[in-house]
């Protein structure tokens, strides 16, 4: 009889311990996976045009983290241009912005006004690259103005940092953004100097890369660093140089792996990042609602 009681007691203890462990490891909200929002663009502000104000108004209607992919204040990224052009529009959302620097900011030595304006939100001045997490996603922010930060190659300070950061943050879903796209339609904006970024991100099964520089919207199929389509392991690239500066042109053929393109549609890209998936929607400014692009995909 005593043996039976002992077995029952042991079973009850095990069930109690399992219940306590479940409570300790449960996620807020009853374990429901958290979906977060990223929204933004690059190539944003110039005091002599209106589109930056209109794209900024979209940010006021869409919650979440604001990403920027460089060239915030044209043409030189001076302190006055950040104060008079960027701050009254997109600057309203600085507290929820995670930026990356573009080439125009470096027109002013060391991109000093950019780093002064965003302070710690822009990473360390000597590099400007950093990472953060949102929901179940790891977000990597890289500086593609390679000559200003000791290069972008595997053995550069930034390359070594990227390798360490990805190794220390092994998540199912990874997104990266930097100013210059590896591929862009036409002949003006391909940026081979960022291929080492792509190589390492591809090796670590990253899912999405966001870039700017080309003043238009483009969405790509999942591709390898060499540009070949790969639904199994490829990275989907978005070009979102639609923040409000002068609308660009395309001088040359479309990239073979490009799936969507729009020139002359200022707007922002809204991303919903969930547990194992992402959704995208390009949101044009008011009065330009004749174009949008949306979809959903799983992480690798």
| Ramachandran area for residue 276 (φ above 0: left; ψ -120 to 50: alpha; else beta) | left
* Residue 148: CB atoms within 10 Å: 18
- Residue 20 CA to residue 14 CA, distance in Å, equals 10
Written in H, E and C, the secondary structure of 60-74 is: CCCCCEEEECCCCEC
Average pLDDT over residues 124-145: 97
Tokens of 150: 């000791």
Query: What's the pLDDT at 189?
Result: 76
C-alpha separations of 59 from 65, 219, 294 in Å:
10, 21, 18
- Whether residue 36 is predicted with pLDDT greater than 80 in this model: the reply is yes
**Contact indicator for 56, 93 with CB cutoff of 8 Å:** yes
Listed residue (195, 108, 101) closest to 149, CA to CA: 101
- Whether residue 3 is predicted with pLDDT greater than 80 in this model: the reply is no
Question: Domains of the chain, with CATH numbers?
Answer: 34-298 (3.60.21.10)
- Residue 260 CA to residue 186 CA, distance in Å, equals 14
Tokens of 240: 């979102």
Listed residue (270, 248, 201, 238) closest to 62, CA to CA: 270
pLDDT band at 2 (very low <50, low <70, confident <90, very high): very low
**Contact indicator for 262, 279 with CB cutoff of 8 Å:** no
Q: What is the pLDDT of residues 217-253, one digit of tens each?
A: 999 999 999 999 999 999 999 999 999 986 777 777 8
Chain centroid to CA 240: how far?
10
Tokens of 48: 């002599």
- Whether residue 285 is predicted with pLDDT greater than 80 in this model: the reply is yes
Query: What's the pLDDT at 62?
Result: 97
pLDDT band at 274 (very low <50, low <70, confident <90, very high): very high
Query: What's the pLDDT at 264?
Result: 87
Chain centroid to CA 79: how far?
25
Helix, strand, or coil here: 177? strand
Average pLDDT over residues 122-150: 97
- Spell out the residues 6+ positions from residue 49 whose beta carbon is closer than 8 angstroms to its own: 244, 245, 246
pLDDT band at 78 (very low <50, low <70, confident <90, very high): very high
Query: What's the pLDDT at 28?
Result: 41
**Contact indicator for 110, 147 with CB cutoff of 8 Å:** no
Q: What is the pLDDT of residues 167-192, one digit of tens each?
A: 999 889 999 999 999 999 986 778 99
Average pLDDT over residues 268-295: 91
112-121, 148-157, 281-290: which has the minimum mean pLDDT? Answer: 281-290
Chain centroid to CA 231: how far?
20
- Over the chain, what is the mean pLDDT? 88
């Amino acid at each position: 009889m005593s043996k039976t009681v002992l077995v029952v007691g042991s079973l009850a203890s095990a069930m109690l311990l399992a219940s306590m462990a479940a409570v300790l490891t449960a996620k807020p909200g009853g374990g429901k996976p958290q979906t977060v929002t990223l929204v933004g663009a690059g190539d944003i502000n110039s005091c002599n045009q209106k589109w930056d104000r209109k794209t900024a108004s979209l940010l006021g209607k869409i919650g979440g983290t604001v990403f920027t992919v460089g060239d915030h204040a044209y043409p030189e990224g001076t302190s006055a241009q950040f104060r008079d052009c960027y701050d009254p529009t997109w600057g309203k959302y600085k507290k929820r912005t995670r930026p990356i620097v573009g080439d125009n900011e470096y027109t002013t030595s060391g991109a000093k006004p950019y780093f002064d304006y965003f302070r710690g939100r822009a990473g360390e001045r000597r590099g400007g690259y950093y990472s953060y997490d949102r929901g179940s996603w790891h977000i990597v922010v890289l500086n593609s103005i390679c000559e200003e930060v000791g290069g972008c190659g595997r053995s550069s300070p930034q390359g070594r940092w990227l390798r360490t950061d990805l190794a220390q943050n092994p998540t199912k879903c990874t997104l990266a953004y930097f100013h210059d796209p590896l591929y862009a339609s036409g002949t003006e904006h391909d940026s081979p100097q960022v291929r080492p970024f792509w190589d390492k991100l591809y090796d670590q099964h990253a899912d999405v890369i966001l870039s700017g520089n080309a003043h238009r919207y483009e969405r790509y199929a999942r591709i390898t660093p060499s540009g070949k389509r790969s639904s199994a392991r490829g990275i989907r690239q978005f070009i979102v140089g639609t923040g409000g500066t002068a609308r660009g042109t395309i001088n040359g053929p479309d990239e073979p792996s490009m799936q969507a393109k729009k020139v002359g549609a200022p707007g922002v890209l809204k991303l919903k990042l969930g547990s194992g998936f992402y959704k995208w929607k390009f949101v044009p400014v008011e009065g330009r609602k004749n174009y949008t692009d949306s979809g959903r995909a799983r992480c690798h």
